[in-house]
Amino acid sequence: MTTRVILEAQLRTETGKGAARSLRRQGYVPGVIYGHGEETRACKVNTKELERLLTSGSYESTLIELKLDNGDTPRVLIREVQVHPYRSEVLHVDFLAVHRGEKVRLEVPVRLDGVARGVKEGGILEHLRHEVEIRCDPDQIPEALELDISELGIGDSVTVVDLSTPAGVEILSDSSVAIAAIVPPAALKVEEVVEEVEAVEEEAEPEVIGRGKPAEEEAEEQEQ
């Protein structure tokens, strides 16, 4: 079942870094609404309301009805959220407008159901993939894809191909990717030792700066 929420927003004409900083001081997050080849519209949303939505669950798969101050009510998905690299502060949000009857691509959570037989026998459950990419109509976006793992024994695993989907939902992720596995406790200990050794080796390596501009500079350039 598609998760839907209503979020109030206001259109804005002021743009640029200075205007964005001023909006944040007033308790708003600057954003944009785009899609369907239409002109991108700048907007602002209440910071606390947006943060509440972002922390309530998987916001990427939540269909939002934006209540704009001009009376429009576009249906949107959150496509990108920019946050401050050092502070817990949302800097900017991108909304993708969607229409009924069109297909959208997005990631939805994978929810494991049941207690695996292998866990009862002493094995350890490893949840390896928490989300998969799907394509469907906006009104058919599932809250999550569920996978029954109760029959998994030690050494067993399940992959993307084992997921069942509602009608109209197509999985785009690689079907061979593992979702979950039941491993023996001894195997887990060996893996942990290897990870600890790799972590020590990584600490000895010089820091590598990623390609592109610093996150803060990039975020400021994209503010509108």
Span 58-68, mean pLDDT?
A: 89
CATH 2.40.240.10 residue window(s) in the chain: 3-99
CATH 2.170.120.20 residue window(s) in the chain: 104-204
At 70, the pLDDT band (50, 70, 90 cuts) reads: very high
pLDDT tens string 94-141: 999 998 888 999 999 999 999 999 999 999 999 999 999 999 998 889
Are 159 and 128 spatial neighbours (Cβ–Cβ below 8 Å)? Answer: no
CATH superfamily of 3-99: Ribosomal Protein L25; Chain P (2.40.240.10)
Are 96 and 59 spatial neighbours (Cβ–Cβ below 8 Å)? Answer: no
Is residue 6 pLDDT above 80, yes or no? yes
Instruction: Find the distance separating the first CA and the last CA of the chain, reported in whole Å.
Output: 34
For residue 178 the two structure tokens come to: 């593992």
Q: DSSP assignment, residue 87?
A: S
Indicate the SS3 state at residue 94: strand
Put the strands of the sheet holding 131-136 in their side by side order: 145-148, 104-113, 131-136, 170-171
Please give the CATH number for the structural domain made up of 104-204. Answer: 2.170.120.20
pTM (two decimals): 0.70
For residue 146 the two structure tokens come to: 């569920």
